[in-house]
Amino acid sequence: MLRRVLLYLSEAGWAKAVVTKMGAARRVALRFVAGESLDDALRASRELNEKGLLVTLDYLGESVNRAEDTQAVVATYTSLIEQIASQKVRAGVSLKLTHLGLDIAEDLCITNLRTVLTSAQEHDIPATVDMESSHYTDDTLRIVRTMRYEYGFTNLQTVIQSYLRRSEDDMRALASEGASIRLVKGAYLENPKIAFPEKSDVDANFVKLAEIFLGADDADTGDGDSDESTFLAIASHDENMIAAALAFIEKNNVPSHRYEFQMLYGIRTARQAELVQGGHAMRVYVPFGSSWYAYFMRRLAERPANLTFFLRSLFRR
Ligand code: FDA
């Protein structure tokens, strides 16, 4: 119930106006965000690289509704990509299609996305199109396939959410295409008709989808062509999900070029380091920018302890 209220508030303009005015909210939000500037983000990324962690950088923002505002988003991403390359930061980028104008016009979004992906490809930097609410699932998968197969952006990943009932079919199709996928549980408010309402079902589906994908190729013999084999980013802080993936990887000798773990900036940092020490690739999702409200509210919805911490900080001086 609390999760649903917080997810509702994450999309409510009036709540955004109230919360973003609170100094305490900004302070707590910055626990999950690397900072407001591009320099903050690059500094945090270099620090993570020094600990052996890979990074994907997300310029915060979504649901943009003025075409001119998307130009600044494209400019920030291209500048970010150039600086990742020139400073030799081991980082990719994560993008949201509604940040690039999908709510305004698909053509605009595609033009913007192509500009960013062209720059990423020139610098050999991986890009991931994040998955937003189920309203965008079909469009996102279609646009990502167009980018990959028609425009040849091969270093491109997208996201599948285990809470969606449709995801098993999507995963099987994407596995047969040799796609690169980040698997997550899903962070939006969804109707039980299309999304599992029970956490136990979401978790069981996460494990099932990870196994479908990791087992989709000649992982046990190691004779798959790495250009065409699937790649899975196991993106979860849940120890049960991590343990299930590790057990499957070990049992089936899944080679290290076919998977990595991913977690969000500021969450379970000790476990992030442990996975690196265990010889696994670990990528941290590093958000930056001033549009932190929706991202922050989704993080509060995931963990009641974060909400308690936030409420306590409101009463602290
Ligand atoms: P779960 O929520 O069950 O949490 C398990 C445990 O992890 C908790 O008990 C707690 O210990 C810890 N934990 C989880 N969240 C925490 C938090 N906010 N603060 C502190 N501890 C926390 N979603 C989406 O819909 N589209 C997307 O594109 C992405 N992209 C994405 C990238 C990456 C790298 C990650 C890790 C996650 C996403 N997500 C996402 C978010 C995802 O859908 C999901 O909401 C969160 O990862 C929380 O789910 P967990 O799998 O961590 O498990």
Contacts of 104 (CB under 8 A, 6+ apart): 64, 65, 66, 67, 70
Which member of 182, 258, 283, 298 is catalytic? 182
Residues 138-164: pLDDT tens digits? 999 999 999 999 999 999 999 999 999
CA-nearest residue for atom 21, ligand 1, is 267
Integer Cα distance of 5 and 9 in angstroms:
6
- Best residue among 237, 295, 299 to mutate for probing ligand 1's pocket (most ligand atoms within 8 Å of CB) is 237
Mean pLDDT of 188-213: 96
Q: For ligand 1, is residue 186 a contact (CB within 6 Å)?
A: yes
pLDDT score for 228: 64
User: Cα of 237 to ligand 1 centre, how many Å?
Assistant: 6
CA distances from 14 to 19, 111, 249, 290 (A): 9, 32, 46, 17
| 209, 162 Cβ separation under 8 angstroms | yes
pLDDT score for 224: 43
pLDDT score for 226: 43
User: Cα of 184 to ligand 1 centre, how many Å?
Assistant: 7
User: Cα of 236 to ligand 1 centre, how many Å?
Assistant: 5
Write down all domains in the chain, each with its CATH number in brackets: 1-33+292-317 (no CATH), 34-291 (3.20.20.220)
CA distances from 148 to 27, 59, 127, 225 (A): 39, 22, 11, 18
Integer Cα distance of 235 and 238 in angstroms:
9
Residues 270-295: pLDDT tens digits? 999 999 999 999 999 999 998 888 88
Full-model pTM:
0.93
Q: For ligand 1, is residue 85 a contact (CB within 6 Å)?
A: no
